[in-house]
Amino acid sequence: MHDPAITPELVAKHNLTPEEYQKVLEILGREPSYTELGIFSVMWSEHCSYKNTRPVLKTFPTQGDKILVGAGEENAGIIDVGDGVAIAFKIESHNHPSAVEPFQGAATGVGGIIRDIFTMGARPVAALNSLRFGELSNPEVRRLFSGVVGGIAHYGNCFGIPTVAGEVYFDKSYEGNPLVNAFALGVLRHDQITRGAAHGIGNPVFYVGPATGRDGLAGAAFASQDLTEESAEQQRGAVQVGDPFMEKLVCEACLELLATGCVAGMQDMGAAGLTCSTCETAARAGTGIEIELDKVPQRAPNMSSYEIMLSESQERMLIVVHKGREAEVKAVFDKWDLPWAEIGVVTDTGRMVVRHGGQVVVDVPAKKLADEAPVYQRESREAAYMAAVRAFRLDGIADTRNPAADLKTLLSNHTIASKNWVYGQYDHMVRDGSVVCPGSDAAVIRIKADSLPVTRAEYAAAQSGTADAFQPPAPLADKYVAFTVDCNGGYVYLDPYEGGKAAVTEACRNLACSGAVPVGSTDNLNFGNPHNPEIFWQLKESVRGLADGCRAFSAPVTGGNVSLYNQRGALGAIDPTPTVAVVGIIEKPEHITTQWFKDAGDAIVLLGAPVDLVDPLQGLGGSAYLKSVHGQKTGLPPRVDLTVAQTLHTTLLGLIREGVVKSAHDCSEGGLAVTLAESCFSQQVARESHRFLGATVDLGAGAEGARLDALLFGETQNRVVISVAAIDAGRVIKQAQAMGVPAVQIGTVGGDTLSLKTAAGGFSVPVSELHEGWWNSIARAMA
């Protein structure tokens, strides 16, 4: 098979501009081979190089006392959690593959993020996901939704990692381009951190994992262009196929191999496959690397060098081994019955050299390829629709006349409704570390001593037969980690800066409601085509909001992912969706708090102002109520005061640590009425007594001048509903007010109805009736 001639048409097909191709010619001093052209195409794609977003990403706060591996350094960020223990975590997207083949696209997204964790030397212990789809009334959306959830469940359940949290939003803007963002978290000791660098001149380079096939060819480039019917059809047969059982073997083998001390560097073969893993490891170490493609295990006959280098076949790793210890590596891989091959060597040339069939097919400076892609300062212009958004007022919107019916409508809204149809398919208890499972404000897991990878000393003792005499270190006290993921894409569409701030603030508020203090964050920036100035303005402004939020809550960004070109033909671009996952630490197990009311007779206290009366829309701009009940998606969303938010979170955490808070639930989509209803939906009480724990609430005082719909369904920020023992209510309110947080008792837990009174009247609805619509809404749509 002969390589095609390099023509301007072929260059354009590889998504390289004439200027970029000219730079390739300058770097090489000659015309590239066909394989080299493909390599530059994937490595200089947005997915791998961040060429359109790198200047914006540099504005994120990335420094912190607890950061051990920071943003951009490696495959995942790592944060110290005390006692020599650390956590590695990251979020990434698999949007385009999931739009084309939802099951395998989502499954391999999970597999890819898990590899990012164990390639750092960490044992993966938990996962979450953030999903976006069109409306479930559309049969195609239902097909995508079912496929994506099935793919996530299949891979996570088979691998044996609990999927303990997440979010799902439904909006027409995602109809042609769903979003699938996967997060994983792992644990390790400080001295077990592994780098993805090709250190040690002369060190051999090993390939481990299944044979390379033609699946996923140029997937990184595919993810870096608009999704069209033509591109989707071209990629459908090339979407990667995942094997979670193989990944489990690869994970265990790699962690065991690290315990031998024979690994000099390790990198997974994710986006851009063998290309990315070779050039990036060499670039990080300032070395070169030379590989022989004839030695690479191949699943298909007569594969070209182009196909082998650009394949994104799954569950493969590249490992640099200390010279002289090859036999140990082979023994470990053989023990786990894994395919492996010694395919190359680390050199001092600074170049990535690839041989195939006795010929050099690639000879490229590794650093130029991995670190010196073109960087663009894209034009930015405020979106034209913002004029109408700012001008919107409530004058033509009638106040609610039937709040009970409106509450039922909101609780059945697929974005607000229970996601049990989703998480019921996930194993969220495997490994026995899950403390708070899906359904509360944040997930909580327990890091136990047996969660950590085996140490070199433990491994050496086991191999030498002296394990019985081995003196292990002092017992590790259990640690509790909370994490959540948030982003209201509608908010970001209507006000990118405030929407970005709101995403971080809600995530941190969810952590505070769970008893956790944020320690770090990871984000996934999902946007349309960056060449559109209005879309790039959305991106820049939302990143500014995210960055301000992360600084305010001391949650530095440890890494993440940018996914652009999320748009499809006439359907247009998605709502800008800068998803953010925040991780926090809970000091003591008794501080772990959930959102459900616990005991009849407890006082219900609202922390925060009932309504922001300074906001002309009183929290209804961009609200679920305005969209669900009035069919309008407009108006400036509620503003976020970061100083007020900090004070609220600090006050809430102080009360939780005093032991007086029984439940805490943040106010977000659907407003105060939805928050109160969800607080009544105690799964534990319902299971034990076959009934629900209701509440009697009086909102008649303290909200003068507020519309009824704003009071009940407005989404004014920085509010939390807590429950405390009646005897503690007065003290709790005084302490909160002393800290500058508005606080008032609004009701009492008890009965089996939600009875809500306001100055304009009230209603009383059985909690079981509210729960029925909330619990079954998605299942009914998917039936």
Catalytic residue list: 47, 94
Distance CA(517)–CA(253), nearest Å, equals 34
Q: Are 74 and 96 in contact (CB under 8 A)?
A: no
Q: Are 344 and 353 in contact (CB under 8 A)?
A: no
Q: Are 453 and 121 in contact (CB under 8 A)?
A: yes
Q: Are 117 and 185 in contact (CB under 8 A)?
A: yes
Helix (H, G, I), strand (E, B) or coil at 688: helix
Can you point out the beta strands (E) in 401-551?
A: 434-436, 443-447, 479-486, 517-526
Distance CA(508)–CA(580), nearest Å, equals 10
DSSP assignment of 405-416, as one string? HHHHHHHHSTTT
Distance CA(610)–CA(706), nearest Å, equals 9
> Which burial class, exposed, middle or buried, applies to 277 when counting CB atoms under 10 A from its CB (0-12, 13-18, 19+)?
buried
For the chain, give me the number of helices (H) and strands (E)? 29, 28
Q: Are 79 and 67 in contact (CB under 8 A)?
A: yes
Q: Are 741 and 651 in contact (CB under 8 A)?
A: yes
Exposure string for 418-447, b = 16+ CB within 10 A, e = fewer = bbbbbbebbbbebbebbbbbbbbbbbbbbb
Nearest residue to 452 via CA among 3, 83, 28, 60: 83
Q: Are 91 and 523 in contact (CB under 8 A)?
A: yes
- CA triple 658-664-666, angle to 5 deg: 135
- Which residues, listed in sequence order, are joined to residue 266 by a DSSP beta bridge? 319
Alpha-carbon dihedral sign for residues 757, 760, 761, 762: negative
Distance CA(7)–CA(37), nearest Å, equals 11
Edge to edge, the sheet with strand 661-666 lists: 661-666, 720-724, 603-607, 743-749, 695-698, 753-758, 761-766
Tokens of 324: 């002289």
With tokens 């170049």, the residue in question is 351
Distance CA(279)–CA(272), nearest Å, equals 10
Tokens of 137: 């009334």
Distance CA(311)–CA(292), nearest Å, equals 15
Distance CA(22)–CA(514), nearest Å, equals 54
